[in-house]
């Protein structure tokens, strides 16, 4: 039962230091596992012909490998003691899973933007994944050790300071808190940072459904048809499909029925006003989309709809599998993995997509639904100078603190546990460097498995040659 008074919550935070000393977070634990076996297990149930592409994208660098291998760090974190502060966490809070998007009021905010692995877990799991990602990325970009150290310390101390701030906030204050681009400009430490944020705002403004329609589709025979661009985009039942006969029911029967069944189930999960809005749109076309790195091989569909004025709406229907967090941190089970993603996203994000919902696939698999790329913006960190990268680390730490404070309601306890000094941040910095070493060892083992033929890895270019355009 959650402590009710501020004093009780602060006491609980300080008491947690006894079962999980702050200095202990420096340790990665004794890692006795086969990374290849874990990756293969994580690939089970995916579209078989896309698994080599998943491995090909992971093979590009230790950083892409890290992005695609969340199961390894979740396994490793499950082997060490935790703080006991458990709440919904992102589960994959590496530095590329933050970005900008528009709220329902069309206000640009910066927030977490990937929730495939969301589940109840210890708050520090998110921080450790974020911290390690900065060191792995810094090494990939050939930045100095001092720069990598500064990036981690910046992210974690910002989390500490913001959690302390949110510990003084009321419940409604936390719920309404948003990190807008305007606020980011106000708090940016450099003129260069302010210019970068404004450029991002201009770029996001052009990423609309209408701009996508012109790039992705053509009007043929009184309907909009999405163009194939294999292996990243192809028609589910067309000549370029990568599905085996009978796979998920996608290659059997009428494609319209497939859409209707999933669409009807999805609509029932929306609030009545959102369902009424959705009824203004008519489905036009459905394609399969290969997304990201770690998600490659999971089933992801893009549905194009238009309203009575011919204005488009792109919806993404993405398969939801068991979270890697829940595989190694046991919590209350969930009945629908898509619902898990949706509820977790709504809890952690400051504002969520109005079309966020869930549904069932043709063979009983679970999906969640959201808009595709509506004013969404991600940062190419490889193009950032160290000072801008430091500003980005500040933002990530801030966002994660806001998300945890809102979703878990435990900012007071977490703040008391971390304290005001640098001990916790220094421990996580030590962890980040040690775990980056582990990532590189796992990456070397992964490349060896690819070269030996144990794992098949293919690039996008290799696979593109297999298709008929």
Question: 53 pLDDT exceeds 90?
Answer: yes
Last residue of a domain, one of 339, 354, 371: 371
Last residue of a domain, one of 354, 371, 388: 371
Position 1 in a domain: no
pLDDT level of residue 334 (50, 70, 90 thresholds): confident
Counts for the chain of helices (H) and strands (E), in that order? 19, 12
* DSSP conformation letters of 431-445: HHHHHHHHHHHHHHH
- Which stretch of 12-21, 158-167, 332-341, 414-423 has the lowest confidence by average pLDDT? 332-341
At 260-306, the pLDDT tens digits run 888 899 999 999 999 999 999 999 999 999 988 989 989 999 999 99
Position 430 in a domain: yes
Q: Coil, strand or helix: which one is 88? A: strand
Share of the chain above pLDDT 70, in %: 94
Q: Can you give the length of the chain in residues?
A: 469
**148 and 230 share one domain:** no
At 353-386, the pLDDT tens digits run 999 999 998 888 999 999 987 778 888 888 888 9
Crossing angle for the helix pair 386-408 and 145-166, to the nearest 10 degrees: 30
DSSP at 243: P
Rounded to the nearest integer, the mean pLDDT of the chain is: 91
What whole-number distance in Å separates Cα of residue 200 and Cα of residue 205? 9
**360 and 390 share one domain:** no
Quote the domain boundaries for residue 190.
6-204+380-464
Nearest Cα residue to 89 out of 38, 141, 137, 159: 159
**CB environment 286-319: b (16+ within 10 A), e (fewer):** bbbbbbbbbbbbbbbbbbbbbeeeeebbbbbbbb
**367 and 394 share one domain:** no
Instruction: Read off the tokens for 410.
Output: 């435990």
Query: Alpha carbon of 49 to those of 14, 450, 457: distances in Å?
Result: 51, 16, 11
The predicted pLDDT at position 239 comes to 63
> In the predicted model, what is the mean pLDDT of residues 449-464?
93
Angle (CA) 285 287 293, round 5°: 150
Nearest Cα residue to 53 out of 463, 465, 444: 463
**199 and 213 share one domain:** no
> Count of domains in the chain?
2
**341 and 438 share one domain:** no
What whole-number distance in Å separates Cα of residue 265 and Cα of residue 374? 23
Instruction: Read off the tokens for 465.
Output: 């040659």
**70 and 176 share one domain:** yes
> In the predicted model, what is the mean pLDDT of residues 61-90?
96
At 299-327, the pLDDT tens digits run 999 999 999 999 999 999 999 999 999 99
The predicted pLDDT at position 468 comes to 52
What whole-number distance in Å separates Cα of residue 21 and Cα of residue 459? 44
**327 and 394 share one domain:** no
**302 and 347 share one domain:** yes
Last residue of a domain, one of 306, 336, 371: 371
Question: 227 pLDDT exceeds 70?
Answer: yes
At 201-211, the pLDDT tens digits run 888 777 888 88
Position 264 in a domain: yes
The predicted pLDDT at position 218 comes to 93
The predicted pLDDT at position 3 comes to 55
> In the predicted model, what is the mean pLDDT of residues 32-36?
95
Question: 405 pLDDT exceeds 90?
Answer: yes
**53 and 113 share one domain:** yes
Position 469 in a domain: no
**426 and 363 share one domain:** no
**158: CB partners within 8 A, 6+ apart:** 393, 394, 396, 397, 398, 401
**216 and 316 share one domain:** yes
Please classify residue 112 by burial: count the beta carbons closer than 10 Å to its beta carbon, then call 0-12 exposed, 13-18 middle and 19+ buried: buried
**192 and 275 share one domain:** no
Share of the chain above pLDDT 90, in %: 70
């Amino acid at each position: 039962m959650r402590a009710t008074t501020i004093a009780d919550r602060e006491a609980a935070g300080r008491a947690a230091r006894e079962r999980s000393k702050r200095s202990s977070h420096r340790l990665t634990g004794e890692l006795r596992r086969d990374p290849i076996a874990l990756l293969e297990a994580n690939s089970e149930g995916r579209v078989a012909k896309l698994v080599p592409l998943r491995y090909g994208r992971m093979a590009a660098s230790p950083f892409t490998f890290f992005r695609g291998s969340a199961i390894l760090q979740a396994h490793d974190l499950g082997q060490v003691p935790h703080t006991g502060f458990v709440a919904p966490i992102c589960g994959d809070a590496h530095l590329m899973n933050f970005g900008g998007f528009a709220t329902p009021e069309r206000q640009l905010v910066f927030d977490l933007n990937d929730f495939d692995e969301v589940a109840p877990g210890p708050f520090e799991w998110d921080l450790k994944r974020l911290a390690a990602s900065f060191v792995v990325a810094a090494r990939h970009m050939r930045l100095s050790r001092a720069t990598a150290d500064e990036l981690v310390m910046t992210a974690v101390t910002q989390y500490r300071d913001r959690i302390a701030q949110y510990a003084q906030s009321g419940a409604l204050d936390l719920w309404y808190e948003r990190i807008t681009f305007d606020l980011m400009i106000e708090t940016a430490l450099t003129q260069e940072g302010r210019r970068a944020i404004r450029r991002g705002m201009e770029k996001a403004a052009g990423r609309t459904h209408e701009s996508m329609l012109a790039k992705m589709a053509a009007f043929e025979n009184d309907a909009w048809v999405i163009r194939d661009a294999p292996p990243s985009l192809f028609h589910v039942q067309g000549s370029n499909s990568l599905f085996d006969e009978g796979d998920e029911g996608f290659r059997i029967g009428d494609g319209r029925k497939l859409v209707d069944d999933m669409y009807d189930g999805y609509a029932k999960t929306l609030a009545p006003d959102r369902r009424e809005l959705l009824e203004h749109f008519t489905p036009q076309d459905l394609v399969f989309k290969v997304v990201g790195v770690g998600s490659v091989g999971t089933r992801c569909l893009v549905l194009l709809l238009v309203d009575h004025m011919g204005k488009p709406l792109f919806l993404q229907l993405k398969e939801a599998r068991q979270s890697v967090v829940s595989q190694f941190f046991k919590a209350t089970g969930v009945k629908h993995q898509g619902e898990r993603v949706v509820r977790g996203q709504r809890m952690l994000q400051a504002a969520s997509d109005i079309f966020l919902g869930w549904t069932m696939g043709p063979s009983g698999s679970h999906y969640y639904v959201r808009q595709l790329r509506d004013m969404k913006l991600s940062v190419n960190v490889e193009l950032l100078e160290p000072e801008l990268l430091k500003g980005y680390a500040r933002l990530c730490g801030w966002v994660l603190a806001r998300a945890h404070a809102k979703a878990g309601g435990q900012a007071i306890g977490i703040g008391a546990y971390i304290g005001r000094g640098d001990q916790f941040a220094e421990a996580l910095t030590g962890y980040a460097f040690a775990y980056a070493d582990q990532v590189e060892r796992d990456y070397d083992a992964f490349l060896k498995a690819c070269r030996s033929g144990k794992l098949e890895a293919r690039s996008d270019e290799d696979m593109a040659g297999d298709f008929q355009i």
